[in-house]
Amino acid sequence: MIEIIGLTKKYGSFYALQDLNLTIEEGVVFGFVGANGAGKSTTFSILSTLLQPTAGDAFINGVSITKNPQEIRSRIGYMPDFFGVYDQLKAEEYLDFYGASYGIKSDERKALIPKLLSLVNLEDKRYEYVDHLSRGMKQRLCLARSLIHDPEILILDEPASGLDPRARVEMRDILKQLKSMGKTILISSHILPELAEMCDNIGVIDSGKLIAHGSVHEIQAQLQQDKILHVRAAIETAELVRFFEGDPFVSGITIDEGSGSISFHYRGDDLQQAELLKQVSAVLPILSFHPEETDLEDVFMAITKGVASK
Ligand SMILES: Nc1ncnc2c1ncn2[C@@H]1O[C@H](COP(=O)(O)OP(=O)(O)OP(=O)(O)O)[C@@H](O)[C@H]1O
Ligand SMILES: [Mg+2]
C-alpha cells in the first residue's frame, strides 16, 4: 500500500505540489492525469526518492520514502519521462549495466535479460545500439529497465507519450501483464481517456493540487458536475456574452463565431440552470440552450482550465 501524506514541493515561493494526500492499494493500477506542469513528474520523482519534498511524506508498506530511501529504491521501479543518450551501448548491455547497478549477479543477469526483452517485445533488438532504437522501442526498453530488480511497485512517467496507436495498445497489454503479476502500478498521462482504459483508479492533478480521485466511474461523475452550456440567440453574440458574464456560476465564456453561439462553463445545478434559461429567454430571443455532450477529454479540459475546450 502507498500512503501519501501532505506531500508538498516548493520552488522558491511556487508550489509545484501542494498538500497531496492519497492512498493507493496494493495491486492497483493508479493513473495520475494532469496538464503540462500540473505536478505529475514532481510527484513521481519524490515517490522514487530522486527529489526531496519540502513537506509531507509517503510510505510504501509503512516504510518512509524520506527516511529510508535506500529500502524504497529496492521496492520500486521508476521509468522517467525522458530516456537520455547512451552512446555505443546495445540494448542487452544497457539492461546489464542497470542490473549490475542493482547488485544483480552476472549469471542471474544473463538469464533475466532475455526474459525482460521478451516481456517488452524487444527480443530481436537485443544486439541493437540503444541510440538506434525508435522512440517506442526506447520506451519499452526503459520499462524493462525499471523491472530489472523485480520491484513490487512501478512508477511510470508518461510511458505512452509519443507512441503510435499500435505501440499504445502494446504498452497497455504489457501493463496488463504486469498487473496480473501482482504489481502496483502508478502511471501518468495528460490524456484522461488513455488512462481510463488501463487504470482502476485515477487522480486528477492541477496546479500541484489533487482535484479529484477515485474509480474511473466516480471521476467521471465528479467531473461532470461541471458542465458546458451552449447558447445561441437571434442577436449579436456580444449581447449574449453581456447577459451571462455577471453570473457567479458562469466562467470561461467562449464565442463561436462560426455558429453564432457562445459556450461557457456552468457550475449551477439543474434547477439553477432551468432558472437561468427562464431569465435569459425573458429578455433575449434564444434559439437554443443546451449542455454539451461531454466526453472524458472535454470534461478534463474544462475542469483543469476552467474554460470550454471547444
Ligand atoms: N527544478 C525546478 N525548478 C523550478 N520549478 C520547477 C522545477 N521542476 C519543476 N518545476 C515546476 O513545477 C511544476 C510542476 O512540474 P512537473 O514537471 O511536475 O509537471 P508535469 O505534470 O510532470 O508536467 P508535464 O506534463 O509537462 O510533464 C511546473 O510548473 C514546473 O515549472
Ligand atoms: Mg512530467
pLDDT at 125: 95
Q: Does 309 sit in the ligand 1 pocket, CB within 6 Å?
A: no
The CB of 17 under 6 Å from ligand 1? The reply is no
Cβ-based burial of 254 (10 A; exposed 0-12, middle 13-18, buried ≥19): middle
- Residue 310: its pLDDT value, please? 34
Q: Please work out whether the CB of residue 9 comes within 6 Å of at least one atom of ligand 1.
A: no
Can you give the pLDDT at residue 270? 81
With a 6 Å cutoff on the Cβ, whether 213 touches ligand 1 is no
For residue 72, tell me if it sits in a domain.
Answer: yes
Q: Nearest ligand to the C-alpha of residue 42? A: 1
In a domain, 263, yes or no: yes
pLDDT at 309: 35
Which CATH number fits the domain that encloses residue 207?
A: 3.40.50.300
Is the CB–ligand 1 distance for residue 36 below 6 Å? yes
pTM: 0.76
Q: Can you give the pLDDT of all 310 residues of the chain as single tens digits? A: 999 999 999 999 999 999 999 999 999 999 999 888 999 999 999 999 999 999 999 999 999 999 999 999 999 999 998 877 777 899 999 999 999 999 999 999 999 999 999 999 999 999 999 999 988 899 999 999 999 999 999 999 999 887 888 888 888 888 899 999 999 999 999 887 778 878 999 999 999 999 888 888 777 666 666 688 999 999 999 999 999 998 999 999 999 888 889 999 998 888 899 999 999 999 999 999 998 765 666 666 666 664 333 3
Q: How far is the CA of 272 from the centre of ligand 2 (A)?
A: 39
Would you state the pLDDT for residue 145?
A: 94
As given in the structure block, the three cell numbers for residue 192 are: 484522461
CA of 18 to the centre of ligand 1 (A): 13
C-alpha dihedral, 57 to 60 to 63 to 68, nearest 10°: -70
- Give the per-residue pLDDT at 224: 62
Judge if 69 and 143 occupy the same domain.
yes
Q: Of 174, 197, 221, which residue sits at a domain end?
A: 221
Atom nearest to 43 CA in ligand 1: 18
202 and 150 in one domain?
Answer: yes
Provide the CATH number for the domain around residue 236.
3.30.70.100
Q: Which atom of ligand 1 is nearest to the CA of 14?
A: 5
Structural domains in the chain (count): 2
Query: Does the beta carbon of 11 sit less than 6 angstroms from any atom of ligand 1?
Result: yes
- Domain of residue 11: give its range: 2-221
